[in-house]
Structure 1
Amino acid sequence: MSVLIKWLESLHEEIIVSSSCVRKRNRKSTCEYCLEICEHEALSVKGNQLIIDSNNCTLCGECVIVCPLSAIEGLVNNRTFDNGSLVYNTEYVPTIKELLIYKIRGLSSIQTQKPLNKEWETALTKSNNILELLGESPIIVTEKVLGEMLSRRALFSSLQKEGKQLAKNMAPAAWKMEKDDWKLTKYYPDYQFYSVKISEDKCTLCQVCFSLCPENLFHIEGTQLLIDHEKCVDCTSCTDVCPENAIEIVPDIKRKSKNKKNITHKSCKDCGHTFYTFKETIEKCHICINRDSDWLSPY
């Protein structure tokens, strides 16, 4: 009985923000995907931390889907599926990211009894355009047929399936959701959705973005800077933290590629510490270059 009670209590688990949230990792973060999608004013930022107001939250799960890092945990409770089809519902509009993920999960069509509204049509058209670039078949629209008569065997089979689906829908969030379930890059590992551009004229290779990028895009191997574009989810961590405004994230859907930039490894003539630079003529590290000449040197 205690197991049943614990299970029933777990059904009331609310949407929570995990430690993967960029606002918990980076005080300069400007990420607002979840804030923009929430229509119930249930999300706010206090002290650069994302706060969920349980009184306003309807547990719709829109913020769960839209988070680029899958850092918000919880259920999406207003989507209905039927044999590989998403059932049309005017109470929400699916995001492009959502439809792309559903496609890999097995979605083949949108099932409806009436024409899709403009918002759904736009989302579907844009999603299918991207799916074509990704080498996937399009999501089609099919008519939902009502009033079908079931044989006794089909009836019991249907009830059994519905029972399993009901149990699945009732399962607590921790059972249904896995880490990175709503991270788009998980489903299309051979493609990139963004290109990360670095201005060699501005960048000092201070490597702050290296440490704060949650997806580990940036690496130095020998005398080359490597950027793994296919890992980028546009969480804006690198652009938010860059002191030189040297990074730009550009939508760019194509086969994944690694960007390699030649760099130089040097010793600073002031402090003696080693550093990397794009410019062979630079003789000082970025710290010494930016240090006020009137300050007493610590070296």
Structure 2
Amino acid sequence: MGRRFQGIEGAHSADIGATRDTGFMNENSTLRFNTRGDTAKGSSDTALRIDQMQCLNLRGRNVTCMQCADTCSAKALKLTVDEVSLDAGRCTACGACLPVCPSGAMWLTGFVPQQFLETVAGAAEIHIYCSQSDDPDSDIIVPCLQVLDTRLLAAAAADGAETVVLHGTDQCSSCDRGDARAVFEQIHANLKRWFTDVPVHLIQENRAQIGKGERSGEDQIQLGRRNFLRFAGAKVAHGASKWLVDAAPEQDEATSQRFIFPSDGSSSRPSAYQELLAERAESLPWRDHQLPWRSLVFSDACNACLTCAQRCPTGALVPKETKSTISILFRLRQCTDCGLCGHLCPESAISCASVASSEELRAPAHRVMHRSLRQCAGCARSFVPGPDSGELCTTCQNELDVANDWKTMLIDSS
């Protein structure tokens, strides 16, 4: 008996933080993450939710990222420096935009990556169906297989998954939610590039053959000897397990994640996909310098304006100020390599470096920039002194220079 759970979509609200889902155990006991998302079609509402101020383009006041719009097969998203515009009539609530957004600005009201991992934890073999599947005996149903990415499946592997069987990919070419097969090609490539030994094996199952008896040779899963033994053992464990879970109310992803508030009052939030993998990274067999994180290096050209830290969407960069110092802290595990800090830096003082091993993710936040402050003798405000600075801040020094220039002109004219 598989793990079964039925999710019920909560009432939608224009207030992003107000949407909430509930759930209960039903007689079919199928784990569904908001079933088919029918609210997205031909209506004024959709299961997709967007936190506008998490978008890189709004935070940076420049269109530097188009990943969600480029991924959207329905062409339902338009991006400007003022808003993320969603055409709810076009949106199919497939969720393909969720994993590609580097700032975690989007979520579906019925799919929370953390809940997904909690559900499949400990299972050696996981069967995942897309929401368009008509199979009544499905184990886990997601809105679309495109909500999965390498980080989420690698995190599942860290929790014990050895084989992930994906059902419904044979219907991708004609699905109005887009074709998920290219996603899995990328996941396969990433797994080989990131790890010395691929921790989880993906199998694309023909949905039409589920429960239909023995399949023909061209439809059968092709496995080598080693993977066949792993898969067979997982099948036995899967059939023998009894999965029963309490029906706890589902929580909207926006309200389940912790927020960080920098000193300028703007909010930031870790990317769910990145954070979940970071929590499990040390149990995975990474190749050196192939981890999906990048360390940031600040050069001496940094003018300590703090713009990068104040605008960082995930909280990887955090500004800190005291009466006598100013600094920026860097949390490696929360960095998604979005590149916003580099685009914003007026001095081009920020560069990236590869991460050698997962042990670096354990390190606490560390300072990447630190400057001593000096109190201006003119206005009494604190400022970051340069190598040629005196007792005045830049503003007061400029005013003094202008005043001296006027005096010189008046003396010369007399």
One-letter amino acid matched to 2:54: C
**CA displacement 1:237-262 (0-9 Å, x = unmatched):** 32333232322345536323435555
Counterpart of 2:309 (choices 199, 210, 218) is: 210
Structure of greater Rg: 2
Query: Would you tell me which structure has more strand in proportion to its own residues?
Result: 1
Indicate yes or no: 2:47 matched with 1:14: yes
Quick one: percent identity of the two aligned structures?
19
Which range moved further: 219-228 or 43-52?
A: 219-228
Which range moved further: 48-57 or 31-40?
A: 31-40
One-letter amino acid matched to 1:231: Q
Identify if the C-alpha distance between structure 1 residues 288 and 64 changes in structure 2 by more than 3 Å, giving closer, same or farther. Answer: farther
Distance 1:275 1:190 in 2: 42
Distance 2:156 2:403 in 1: 57
One-letter amino acid matched to 1:184: Q
Residue 246 of structure 1 corresponds to which residue in structure 2? 349
Indicate yes or no: 2:53 matched with 1:39: no
Indicate yes or no: 2:64 matched with 1:30: yes
Q: Is the CA contact (8 Å cut-off) linking 2:294 and 2:335 kept in structure 1?
A: yes
Q: Secondary structure of 2:310's match?
A: helix
Q: Is the CA contact (8 Å cut-off) linking 2:298 and 2:369 kept in structure 1?
A: no
Distance 2:367 2:253 in 1: 38
One-letter amino acid matched to 2:126: S
Distance 1:289 1:124 in 2: 59
**CA displacement 1:107-154 (0-9 Å, x = unmatched):** 43232699xx7863552242254355xxx97112469696599xxxxx
Residue 200 of structure 1 corresponds to which residue in structure 2? 300
Superposition RMSD in Å = 5.0
Q: Secondary structure of 2:164's match?
A: strand
Distance 1:209 1:198 in 2: 11
Indicate yes or no: 2:199 matched with 1:138: yes
Q: Is the CA contact (8 Å cut-off) linking 1:193 and 1:252 kept in structure 2?
A: yes
Distance 1:31 1:62 in 2: 15
Identify if the C-alpha distance between structure 1 residues 48 and 103 changes in structure 2 by more than 3 Å, giving closer, same or farther. Answer: farther
Distance 1:66 1:118 in 2: 13
Once the two structures are TM-superposed, the CA of residue 207 in structure 1 deviates from its matched residue by 1.5
Map residues 76-225 of structure 1 onto 2, 5 A cutoff: 84-85=125-126, 87=128, 95-104=149-158, 107-111=161-165, 120-132=184-196, 138-141=199-202, 174=252, 178-179=256-257, 182-189=272-279, 193-201=293-301, 203-214=302-313, 215=315, 217-220=317-320, 225=327
Distance 1:18 1:295 in 2: 49
Q: Secondary structure of 1:54's match?
A: coil
Q: Give the alignment's TM-score, normalised by structure 2.
A: 0.50
Identify if the C-alpha distance between structure 1 residues 223 and 174 changes in structure 2 by more than 3 Å, giving closer, same or farther. Answer: closer
Identify if the C-alpha distance between structure 1 residues 181 and 148 changes in structure 2 by more than 3 Å, giving closer, same or farther. Answer: farther
Q: Give the alignment's TM-score, normalised by structure 1.
A: 0.65
One-letter amino acid matched to 2:61: R
Residue 382 of structure 2 corresponds to which residue in structure 1? 274
Distance 1:244 1:94 in 2: 37
Residue 154 of structure 1 corresponds to which residue in structure 2? none
Indicate yes or no: 2:63 matched with 1:63: no
Residue 152 of structure 1 corresponds to which residue in structure 2? none
Identify if the C-alpha distance between structure 1 residues 173 and 259 changes in structure 2 by more than 3 Å, giving closer, same or farther. Answer: closer
Q: Secondary structure of 1:238's match?
A: helix
Where structure 2 has 5 or more consecutive residues not aligned to the other structure, the ranges are 1-7, 13-36, 40-45, 131-143, 170-180, 214-238, 258-269, 282-291, 405-414
Q: Is the CA contact (8 Å cut-off) linking 1:184 and 1:233 kept in structure 2?
A: yes
Distance 1:264 1:181 in 2: 32
Q: Secondary structure of 1:243's match?
A: coil
One-letter amino acid matched to 2:384: Y
Once the two structures are TM-superposed, the CA of residue 186 in structure 1 deviates from its matched residue by 3.8
How many pairs align?
272
Distance 1:274 1:176 in 2: 37
Q: Secondary structure of 2:92's match?
A: coil
Q: Is the CA contact (8 Å cut-off) linking 1:198 and 1:247 kept in structure 2?
A: yes
**CA displacement 1:39-79 (0-9 Å, x = unmatched):** 221110245311111122121101122222322121569x9
Distance 1:290 1:32 in 2: 41
Residue 3 of structure 1 corresponds to which residue in structure 2? none
Q: Secondary structure of 2:272's match?
A: coil
One-letter amino acid matched to 1:44: K
Distance 2:398 2:67 in 1: 34
Identify if the C-alpha distance between structure 1 residues 137 and 262 changes in structure 2 by more than 3 Å, giving closer, same or farther. Answer: same
